[in-house]
């Protein structure tokens, strides 16, 4: 046993961080079988943004569980992944290196980005392979800062297991998953309307949409009805008039009953379009009739699909109106020349410019009535985008969703912590529309293992992919060649073309359980760790990450990917505002918090956020955590200085009472942890610990010194030793550094590999010290005795006397039951209170 004279938190973190790494304290023992393992599908942090306290908070929550399960005897599989795949990384790399990917450029072997990044608006164009390589470099550096943070905060991750979402394992798994779904017709390629970001030139999935309130205006357009009468239509998108393919009204709307099945004619373009009925048309909106354009919004897509309408595409992928020829098939007009003249005014303009121009044209030709009426309305944006989404048709890969009942059943099967989070999942499943588009027109991502044949005329057949074989994965179709072809045939008539796109990042991260457990690369590991036990994650990505992962596992394994989902809340600053992500040495920079308060203290703060609850960023809580850690050092030093031992008999009623109360605490903390309520486990442990220090230690210290004979001394020493060991165990998941330090003073091995405290064993010790068979240990004795001691202190405090003031006599008045309990530890009270005599009065 070696106890420092002046225990301190100084240097503990570096010391134990190193020791744990050297000794492999958290190493996963892969000889263990599935039922002995607790496996965690750690969220791979997006290696693109700044670190903020929210990261620390939620990852620490997972670590509490990991450490608890490890002490419970489970072999914890706790790897870390890195999400370095996708658009966020591309943007970060563009910013950090001052480059931009231009896929038309050839690979430049010697390219290096400039030391100093140039002007943001003048990026250096680089080839796709060069750009992907840059992404890899940048990501590696960022991963180091993340590694440092996770180590500093004490995550008990086994760093020898892990993955990158752009790494070979992830690419193999993604491509294998792709091929298998395709083979089962659960995945298909089709040209279809797709939400499209015109700035990033990429398709966007339903889950990445957000609504933003922006100004707009109603324009009232004069269509001509079938009998030459005016038919007024309100629209916020007049520029889409040339794309109008029908006029729609509600089937029950009496105003339009006579018109259904007949035709209207558009202003400016003279296109004859059918007047159709659909219940999505709202009689109370505008004039009750709407124009259906291909495509202004998702409702247009629904109408177009369900009513089997034609298509007139005017918005191109760059967000400008493309040239079209009026009078050609599909672009019929009652006056093609006039239509063309009007359209030529719009072609080449952006949507916004075209809107302004067409409003003028309409006004000039009497096609509108009155001024546009300004409104503010919600418009769909991509969450990363800056201009409203357009809808374009293009070739995309889609995964079919399983039927809703199957998905809802999976949601029920999963244990949610907290349970109410299941509702978010169910809401999302019930609101699903269309299939899951997994195609992104980007560069840094997992490519599709597909090529397309080119006919002798040079036309690519985008709907007849040539697929890679599973054993050739991962492939990069832009670098690899399909079987039966050679490189010279790339992009040649009679040859092949690579699939130009990459997978949506969710198409890969929906397979994190499979990737991290070795589905493709390590079947032995897979058998020992899958399905996994726990998915910890944030609530805002239930509809994406969680949902998609359930879908993939449902298809691949006909099972849930994990048994439990622990959903963490947000971190708020004390003003109750959501934390901004602008960090970087800000007061809320987690590395600053850790160096200021200590890792254990920051973890203590994080433990206050139960699953699903938001947590305020509060330095005050961190101070308390630091105080607690220091108290643990000092109290432990004191207890151990009294020659505490964990072997022996505990005979004194007060000691037995303390152990019984401690056993109850262990039971409660264990039950709380099993419900993922680590916050309660800590709260109760902390409460017990402070009263243990304030009351129990004071009550027994003189006896432990030997003031009351050997039997009483031995009892106290054993009780102190058992209590200390138990408390260190209960605190270990929360305060790994300080508990390990204290543990090392007097115990072998690591506290983090020691067994979780055993309530029954404590009760047995408490019972074994009984004087008679009926003498049950009574947790209330300690409470009564502590209350009495507190009264004595209060009297001294009110008399403004020192606590060491001698008291000649004390009279205690209470119920006979409580006095009987007090009587069991009268000598300890006298000793702690420096009391000469105690008289009890019922």
Partner RNA sequence: GGGCGCGUAGCUCAGUUGGCUAGAGCGCUGCCCUUACAAGGCAGAUGUCGGGGGUUCGACUCCCUCCGCGCCCACCA
The reply on whether position 377 binds RNA by CB under 7 A is yes
Using CB under 7 A as the binding rule, the residues of this chain from 208 to 247 that contact RNA are: 209-211, 216, 218, 233-237
Among residues 376 and 491, whose Cβ is nearest to RNA? 376
The residue range among 441-449, 524-532, 632-640, 715-723 that interacts with RNA, by the rule CB under 7 A, is: 632-640
Type and span of the H or E element at 38: strand 37-39
The residue range among 144-152, 421-429, 507-515, 524-532 that interacts with RNA, by the rule CB under 7 A, is: 421-429
Report the nearest approach of RNA to the CB of residue 161 (Å). Answer: 31
Using CB under 7 A as the binding rule, the residues of this chain from 433 to 452 that contact RNA are: 433
The reply on whether position 698 binds RNA by CB under 7 A is yes
- Of 479, 483, 586, 803, the residue at the interface with RNA (CB under 7 A) is 803
The reply on whether position 428 binds RNA by CB under 7 A is yes
The reply on whether position 12 binds RNA by CB under 7 A is no
Could you tell me if 218 and 375 are in contact, meaning their C-beta atoms sit under 8 angstroms apart?
Answer: yes
Using CB under 7 A as the binding rule, the residues of this chain from 738 to 757 that contact RNA are: none
Following DSSP, what letter does each residue of 644-683 receive, concatenated?
--SSS---SHHHHHHHHHHHHHHHHHHHHHHTT-HHHHHH
- Candidates 273, 176, 108; CA nearest to 473 is 176
261 C-beta neighbours (distance < 10 Å), count: 10
The residue range among 22-30, 71-79, 615-623, 751-759 that interacts with RNA, by the rule CB under 7 A, is: 615-623
**CA pair distance 703, 827, nearest whole angstrom:** 9
- Of 485, 680, 744, 827, the residue at the interface with RNA (CB under 7 A) is 680
Using CB under 7 A as the binding rule, the residues of this chain from 74 to 133 that contact RNA are: none
Among residues 380 and 763, whose Cβ is nearest to RNA? 380
**CA pair distance 669, 684, nearest whole angstrom:** 7
Report the nearest approach of RNA to the CB of residue 493 (Å). Answer: 42
Using CB under 7 A as the binding rule, the residues of this chain from 567 to 606 that contact RNA are: 574, 576, 578
Among residues 100 and 680, whose Cβ is nearest to RNA? 680
- Of 70, 312, 424, 656, the residue at the interface with RNA (CB under 7 A) is 424
Report the nearest approach of RNA to the CB of residue 686 (Å). Answer: 8
**CA pair distance 149, 557, nearest whole angstrom:** 35
- Of 112, 420, 524, 585, the residue at the interface with RNA (CB under 7 A) is 420
**CA pair distance 824, 712, nearest whole angstrom:** 13
The reply on whether position 643 binds RNA by CB under 7 A is no
| Bond preceding residue 57 cis, omega within 30 of 0 | no
- Candidates 223, 445, 268; CA nearest to 360 is 268
The residue range among 738-746, 763-771, 774-782, 800-808 that interacts with RNA, by the rule CB under 7 A, is: 800-808
- Candidates 658, 441, 410; CA nearest to 531 is 410
**CA pair distance 199, 320, nearest whole angstrom:** 11
Helix axes 128-152, 53-71, angle to 10 degrees: 60
Using CB under 7 A as the binding rule, the residues of this chain from 515 to 574 that contact RNA are: 539-540, 543, 574
- Of 24, 125, 431, 494, the residue at the interface with RNA (CB under 7 A) is 431
Using CB under 7 A as the binding rule, the residues of this chain from 309 to 328 that contact RNA are: none
The residue range among 185-193, 311-319, 721-729, 801-809 that interacts with RNA, by the rule CB under 7 A, is: 801-809
- Written in H, E and C, the secondary structure of 96-142 is HHCEEECCCCCCCCCCCCCCCCCCCCCCEEECHHHHHHHHHHHHHHH
The residue range among 400-408, 636-644, 647-655, 659-667 that interacts with RNA, by the rule CB under 7 A, is: 636-644
The reply on whether position 286 binds RNA by CB under 7 A is yes
Could you tell me if 75 and 32 are in contact, meaning their C-beta atoms sit under 8 angstroms apart?
Answer: yes
- Of 330, 493, 801, 837, the residue at the interface with RNA (CB under 7 A) is 801
The reply on whether position 493 binds RNA by CB under 7 A is no
The reply on whether position 710 binds RNA by CB under 7 A is no
The reply on whether position 206 binds RNA by CB under 7 A is yes
Using CB under 7 A as the binding rule, the residues of this chain from 251 to 280 that contact RNA are: 280
Strands (DSSP E) contained in 418-474 are 436-437, 439-440, 450-453, 466-467
Strands (DSSP E) contained in 368-437 are 373-382, 390-399, 415-417, 436-437
- Candidates 818, 807, 744; CA nearest to 781 is 818
**CA pair distance 564, 481, nearest whole angstrom:** 42
Among residues 469 and 815, whose Cβ is nearest to RNA? 815
């Amino acid at each position: 046993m070696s106890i420092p004279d002046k225990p301190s938190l100084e240097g503990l973190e570096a010391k134990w961080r190193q020791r744990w790494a050297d000794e492999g304290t958290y190493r996963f023992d892969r000889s263990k079988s599935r039922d002995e393992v607790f496996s965690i599908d750690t969220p791979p942090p997006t290696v693109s943004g700044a670190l903020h306290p929210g990261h620390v908070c939620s990852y620490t929550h997972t670590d509490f569980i990991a450490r608890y399960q490890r002490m419970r005897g489970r072999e914890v599989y706790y790897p870390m992944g890195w999400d370095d795949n996708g658009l966020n990384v591309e943007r970060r790399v563009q910013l950090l290196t001052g480059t931009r990917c231009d896929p038309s450029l050839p690979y430049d072997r010697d390219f290096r980005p400039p030391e100093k990044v140039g002007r943001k608006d003048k990026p250096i164009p680089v080839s796709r392979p060069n750009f992907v390589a840059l992404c890899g470099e940048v990501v590696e550096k960022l991963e180091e800062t993340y590694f440092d943070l996770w180590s500093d905060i004490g995550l008990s991750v086994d760093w020898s297991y892990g993955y990158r979402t752009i790494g070979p394992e992830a690419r193999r798994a993604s491509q294998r998953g792709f091929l298998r779904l395709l083979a089962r017709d659960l995945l298909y390629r089709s040209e279809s309307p797709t939400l499209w970001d015109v700035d990033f030139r990429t398709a966007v999935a339903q889950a990445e949409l957000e609504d933003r309130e922006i100004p707009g205006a109603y324009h009232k357009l004069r269509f001509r009805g079938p009998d030459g009468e005016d038919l007024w239509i309100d629209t916020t998108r007049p520029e889409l008039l040339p794309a109008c393919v029908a006029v729609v009204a509600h089937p029950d709307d009496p105003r339009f009953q006579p018109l259904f099945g007949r035709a209207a004619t558009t202003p400016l373009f003279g296109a004859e379009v059918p007047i159709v009925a659909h219940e999505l048309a709202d009689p109370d909106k505008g004039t009750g009739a709407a124009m259906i354009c291909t495509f202004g919004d998702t409702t247009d897509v629904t109408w177009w699909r369900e009513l089997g309408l034609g298509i007139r595409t005017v918005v191109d992928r760059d967000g400008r109106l493309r040239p079209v020829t009026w009078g050609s098939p599909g672009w019929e007009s009652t006056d093609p020349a006039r239509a063309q003249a009007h359209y030529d005014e719009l072609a080449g303009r952006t949507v916004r410019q075209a809107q302004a121009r067409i409003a003028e044209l309409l006004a000039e030709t009497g096609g509108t009535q009155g001024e546009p009426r300004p409104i503010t309305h919600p418009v769909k944006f991509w969450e990363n985008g800056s201009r409203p989404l357009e809808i374009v048709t293009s070739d995309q890969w889609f995964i079919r969703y399983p039927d809703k009942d199957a998905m809802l059943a999976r949601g029920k099967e999963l244990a949610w912590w907290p349970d109410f989070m299941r509702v978010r999942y169910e809401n999302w499943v019930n609101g699903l529309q269309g299939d899951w588009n997994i195609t992104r027109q980007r560069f840094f991502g997992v490519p599709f293992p597909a090529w397309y044949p080119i006919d002798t005329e040079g036309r690519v057949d985008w709907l007849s992919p040539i697929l890679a074989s599973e054993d050739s994965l991962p492939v990069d179709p832009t670098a690899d060649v399909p079987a039966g072809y050679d490189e010279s045939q790339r992009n040649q008539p009679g040859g092949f073309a690579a699939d130009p796109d990459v997978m949506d990042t969710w198409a890969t991260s929906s397979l994190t359980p499979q990737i991290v457990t070795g589905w493709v690369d390590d079947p032995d590991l897979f058998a020992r760790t899958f399905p996994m036990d726990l998915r910890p994650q944030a609530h805002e990505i239930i509809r994406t990450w969680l949902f998609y992962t359930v879908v993939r596992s449902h298809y691949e394994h006909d099972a849930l990917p994990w048994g439990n989902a622990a959903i963490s809340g947000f971190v708020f600053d004390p003003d109750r505002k959501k934390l901004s992500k602008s960090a970087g040495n800000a007061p809320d920079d987690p590395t600053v918090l850790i160096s200021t308060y200590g890792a254990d203290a920051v973890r203590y703060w994080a433990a206050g956020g139960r699953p699903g609850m938001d947590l305020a960023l509060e330095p005050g809580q961190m101070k308390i955590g630091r105080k607690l850690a220091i108290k643990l050092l000092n109290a432990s030093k004191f207890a151990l200085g009294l020659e505490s031992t964990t072997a022996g008999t505990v005979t004194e009623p007060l000691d037995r009472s303390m152990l019984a109360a401690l056993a109850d605490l262990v039971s409660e903390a264990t039950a709380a942890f099993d419900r993922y309520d680590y916050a309660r486990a800590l709260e109760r442990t902390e409460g017990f610990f402070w009263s243990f220090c304030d009351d129990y230690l004071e009550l027994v210290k003189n006896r432990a010194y030997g003031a009351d004979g050997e039997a009483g001394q031995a009892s106290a020493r054993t009780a102190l030793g058992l209590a200390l060991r138990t408390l260190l165990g209960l605190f270990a998941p929360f305060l790994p550094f300080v508990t390990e330090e204290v543990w090392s003073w007097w115990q072998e091995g690591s506290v983090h590999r020691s067994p979780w405290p055993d309530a029954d064993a404590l009760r047995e010790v408490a019972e074994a010290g009984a004087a008679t068979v009926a003498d049950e240990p009574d947790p209330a004795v300690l409470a009564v005795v502590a209350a009495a001691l507190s009264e004595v202190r209060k009297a001294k405090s009110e008399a403004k006397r020192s606590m060491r003031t001698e008291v000649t006599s004390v009279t205690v008045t209470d119920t006979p039951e409580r006095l009987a309990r007090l009587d069991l530890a009268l000598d300890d009270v006298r000793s702690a209170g420096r009391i000469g005599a105690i008289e009890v009065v019922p």
